[in-house]
Amino acid sequence: MSFWGSAMEKILLLSSKRELENLINETIGKRGKVIVYRAHRKNLPDNKISLILTDCDYKCRLDKCLKKFLFIYHHNSIPAVILKPVLIKKGADRPGFFFRILNDAGFEAFQKDWLLSLRSSKYYAGLPTFPSPPFSQLSKIIEVQRIIIESDHESFQLKDLAGRVDCSSSWLSVNFGRLAGISLRTFRARERCCRALWQLVSTDKPIKVIALEAGYEPLYFSHLFHRTLGAPPSSLRKLLSYSLRLKNSNA
C-alpha cells in the first residue's frame, strides 16, 4: 500500500476561479486530487475528502461568505484552509496568496505535507523570493498584508504594523492605499470582520468577546460589522442559533 493508502486523498476546493484551481493543482501536484465544488450544498461531493480549501476576494458579501463558512462548519471534522490573494493595485508578475487555517481538526502527515507545499510554493507571498525586491516599498506592503491575515489573536495598530516593516505610520498609511488599491483601514477592518464572521458561525463566544479580540469596542464593532457585511452581528447570531436549533430538531 502506498503512503496515500488504497486511493489518492482528495482536496475539496470551494471556488469558482479557474486560475485558483490551476494554481492548487500545480502546487499539490500528484500528492492529491483537487475536486472543485461550486454549489456549496450541504453534503460532500465525495466521501474521501481530506482537506477543504476556500478562497476570499475581500469583497465581504455576506451571503457568499456565510455559505462557505456554514459548509466548512458543517464538516468540521475535516481541516479547512482559506486562501487570500495578495492585493497589488497594478498587478504582480505572478499571482500570490496567503493562507490561514480555519478549522484545525488535527492534521495528519499527508495534510501537513499539503500545507508545506502551499507554504513553499512560488505563489506563497510569505516567501522572500516572492516577486518584489526585498525591502522595497511593495515588499513592505505585502508583508503587512501577511501579518494581518496570518497572525492569530493580534489586533495590530498602525504604529505596530509600521514598526514590523521598519517604516513610519504616515508612510504606511499613504503607500498601502497607493500600492494595494485599498486603504489599510479598510483592509484591516474587512479581515477582522471575516474572522468575526467565522467565530460567529463556529463558536458560541459572546459578541462582546469577539469584538474585543478583534481590537474594537463592542458598540463600534457592531457598527463596523454591519457596515462591512450588511447585517449586525446580533441579528446574525440569532439567525445562526435558530438554524442550529432547527437542524438539531430535525436530526
- Residue range of the domain that includes 173: 132-251
Cα 194 to Cα 5: distance, rounded to the nearest angstrom: 36
Co-location of 116 and 169 in the same domain: no
The confidence score (pLDDT) of residue 98 equals 93
The verdict on 147 and 115 lying in the same domain is no
- Domain shared by 1 and 111, yes or no: yes
Domain count within the chain:
2
Q: Which residue has the higher pLDDT, 187 or 130?
A: 187
Domain boundary among 72, 98, 129: 129
Single out the residue in 129, 156, 185 at which a domain terminates: 129
Residue 96 shares a structural domain with residue 212? no
Average confidence score pLDDT of the chain: 85
Strand 80-85 relative to strand 97-103: parallel, antiparallel, unpaired?
A: antiparallel
Do both 107 and 159 map to the same domain?
A: no
- How is residue 47 written as a grid cell? 466521501
In the chain, beta strands by DSSP E:
10-14, 33-36, 49-55, 80-85, 97-103
Residue range 15-61, pLDDT digits in tens = 878 888 888 888 887 777 888 887 656 678 777 888 999 999 888 88
Domain co-membership, 117 together with 179 = no
- C-alpha 61/C-alpha 24 separation (Å) is 24
Helix axes 207-214, 218-229, angle to 10 degrees: 90
pLDDT digits (tens, 9 = 90+) for 93-141: 567 899 999 988 788 888 888 888 889 988 899 888 887 776 688 999 9
Query: What's the length of the chain?
Result: 251
pLDDT at 80: 93
Same domain, yes or no: 158 and 37: no
**Where among 129, 152, 173 does a domain terminate?**
129
Q: Same domain, yes or no, for 169 and 118?
A: no
Do 176 and 106 lie in one domain? The reply is no
198 and 110 belong to one structural domain: no
My answer on whether 157 and 227 are in the same domain is yes
Q: Is 159 found in the same domain as 119?
A: no
